Amino acid sequence: MAKIYPQIDEEWKEILTDEFQKPYFEVLKDFLVNERNRYIVYPPGPKIFEAFNRTPYSKVKIVLLGQDPYHGPGQAHGLCFSVPEGIIFPPSLQNILKELEADLGYPYPKSGNLSAWADQGVLLINATLTVRANMAGSHQGKGWELFTDAVIKKLSEDRNGLVFLLWGRYAQNKKVLIDQNKHFILEAPHPSPLSVYRGFFGCRHFSKANQWLEKNGKIPVDWKL
């Protein structure tokens, strides 16, 4: 019987083929089928692996790790912190864009769609790739974290000179998966209203990431939206 793979970029499919065949991933797939039969689940099926489809393995320059997809109608589209065109910016995204404006002087954007970053090599992944509508954290502990940890480890082991943006304690706990001798880690509090004034504002991660990329002979990211 032919193996059925997720809708994911061919490079990533090859890199992660072992993960897709592990028992936990089969359990995760069954869980998602049952969830979709009973509840609304975000993001839509074709968008679950949007971060990987927008940013193929060989194009990754920066990894930005979120925790959970947005759980409101129309918000989640497979890229952490991002929302589609026309969707009101959630508070954390508002604060990210304020810091971008302060750091690089770009005007505050009209769109919260961060696809342009993903297309330039910024892997915008959540640790958990799906969520039940209106229930934050509802798909945590079901297997997604095993999968995304494997992604981080693959990038750490097999690539060189990547930038990892770790915002908040949850993301910073993933630091143990990253070889700090090969990669550049930037840490700051989470951009949520609860912690943004504890050091996220003023962290200047956008310019610092670009300085690292340029120093290592890579094309910097045009963060303007």
Residues annotated as part of the active site: 68
DSSP letter at 6?
P
DSSP element (H, E) containing 125: strand 122-126
What size, in residues, is the chain? 225
Helices 144-158/23-38 angle, 10° precision: 130
Four-residue CA torsion sign, 86, 91, 96, 102: positive
Q: How many CA atoms lie within 13 A of 131 on its CB side?
A: 21
Which residue pairs from 213-220 have beta carbons closer than 8 angstroms and sit at least 24 positions apart in sequence? 213/61, 213/62, 213/163, 216/161, 218/61, 218/161
Give the integer Cα–Cα distance in Å for 165 and 66: 10
